[in-house]
């Protein structure tokens, strides 16, 4: 029987592989304006942070925590990978700064510190996230962590994410404006909101973007035009540009009523109900749900594991060939890896043939870990760096001679 279930799931996946789950609803009426595979299980990536923030807002409202409360960063929080604020074990930050970093910068270390400030452990907090999801009507979502970092047992649907977005706006109208905050200041640094839609779509005022290798590029977006609010969810886009372009089309369709031909208009869906008569996969059937999620970039995580660990300049020298890019320096190796993850994500999971490399090199007062992408020819190095800069990612092109110089600053 189990084999039959898996076989059916694989067949269903194959038929839907080309489609990207999407949903647009009218906020006031909850009417579904268009839908495509909105009940398809999908990895949430950083969209999971929306539930972390929902619970934080709820705790603030109930005075269980206060905005100025200090959170002490645990070893577990400090060890989070991916996008980070750069928190060290034993450091502290306020609840409000943790919320800001989670919303604006999608910082995994801040999200976990926030979760641990509200529960005995991140695992316990994730159980609370799932339980709260059920009570909101999110019938097909399971959370396993506060950040959305990869976990094959963590998934959601476009329909459930629309429920969560609507609940955030409805239940915390006085706090929702945080999602539209353009910048935050942290230890003297001015950090910009990573949600580029805020400046690219008139009326856009939140909510959250996300990326992992398995999920691809996800977004939950809200916009308000002439007093009418529309919420759009898109999961699994294959690049940053594709996500921005498609969610723009979805929002425009929501406001104009002109539905693109590849989408179907859908009837209203009450919170927690089935969409278009489709059967939501049972949360308990983890094997079936996991089988139905096909990673968007299946080789991306494997590529990340090949990133060279910290090494002395002499040991790394033999790996430094061709033209290269430096995407930043860091005081800790994991932060340098996070810089490489950011570069990879904005390039759609594809480093254009370059190889990510973390090199440890002590030069002057610069942070010792260098995040490099090596192995380009001149044309590809320049084109890739220009694209990264257009997407607000620090990048400097290094010639083969600069790369090989033993005292190169690479800053």
- Of 46, 222, 310, 345, which one is the catalytic site residue? 46
Is residue 106 annotated as part of the catalytic site, yes or no?
Answer: yes
> CA 372 to CA 359: how far, in whole Å?
8
Which residue out of 15, 70, 74, 106 is catalytically annotated?
Answer: 106
121 carries an active-site annotation:
no
Residues of the chain by 3-state class (helix, strand, coil), percent to 5: 40, 20, 40
Given 49, 208, 222, 239, which residue is catalytic? 49
> Is residue 239 annotated as a catalytic residue, yes or no?
no
Q: What SS3 string covers 343-396?
A: HHHHCCCCCCCCEEEEEECCCCCCCCEEEEEEEECHHHHHHHHHHHHHCCCCCE
Catalytic residues: 46, 49, 106
């Amino acid at each position: 029987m189990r084999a039959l279930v898996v076989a059916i799931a694989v067949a269903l996946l194959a038929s839907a592989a080309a489609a990207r789950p999407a949903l647009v609803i009218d906020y006031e009426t909850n009417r579904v304006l268009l839908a495509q595979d909105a009940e398809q299980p999908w990895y949430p990536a950083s969209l999971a942070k929306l539930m972390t923030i929902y619970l934080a807002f709820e705790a603030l409202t109930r005075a269980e925590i206060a905005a100025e409360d200090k959170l002490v960063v645990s070893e577990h929080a400090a060890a989070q990978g991916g996008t980070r604020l750069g928190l060290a074990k034993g450091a502290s930050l306020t609840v409000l700064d943790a919320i800001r970093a989670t919303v604006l910068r999608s910082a995994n270390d801040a999200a976990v510190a926030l979760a641990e400030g509200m529960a005995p452990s991140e695992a316990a907090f994730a159980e609370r996230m799932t339980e709260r999801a059920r009570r909101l009507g999110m019938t097909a979502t399971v959370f396993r962590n506060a950040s959305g970092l990869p976990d094959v047992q963590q998934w959601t649907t476009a329909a459930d994410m629309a429920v969560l977005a609507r609940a955030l706006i409805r239940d915390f109208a006085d706090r929702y404006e945080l999602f539209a905050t353009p910048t935050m200041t942290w230890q003297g640094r001015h950090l910009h909101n990573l949600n580029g839609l805020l400046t690219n779509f008139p009326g856009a005022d939140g909510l959250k973007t996300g990326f992992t290798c398995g999920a691809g590029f996800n977004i939950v977006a809200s916009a308000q035009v002439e007093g009418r609010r529309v919420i759009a969810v898109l999961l699994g886009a294959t690049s940053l540009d594709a996500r921005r372009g498609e969610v723009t089309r979805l929002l425009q369709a929501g406001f104009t009523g002109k539905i693109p031909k590849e989408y179907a208009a859908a009837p209203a869906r009450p919170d927690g109900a089935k969409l278009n008569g489709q059967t939501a996969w049972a949360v308990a059937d983890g094997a079936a749900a996991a089988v139905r999620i096909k990673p968007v970039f299946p080789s991306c995580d494997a590529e990340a594991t090949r990133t060279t660990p910290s090494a002395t300049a002499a040991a790394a020298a033999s790996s430094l060939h061709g033209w290269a890019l430096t995407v930043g320096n860091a005081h800790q190796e994991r932060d340098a890896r996070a810089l490489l993850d950011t570069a990879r994500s904005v390039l759609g999971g594809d480093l254009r043939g370059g190889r990510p490399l973390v090199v440890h090199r002590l030069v002057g007062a610069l942070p010792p870990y260098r995040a490099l992408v090596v192995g380009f020819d001149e044309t590809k190095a320049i084109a890739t760096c220009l694209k990264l800069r257009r997407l607000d990612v620090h990048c400097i092109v290094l010639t083969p001679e600069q790369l090989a110089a033993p005292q190169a600053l690479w800053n």
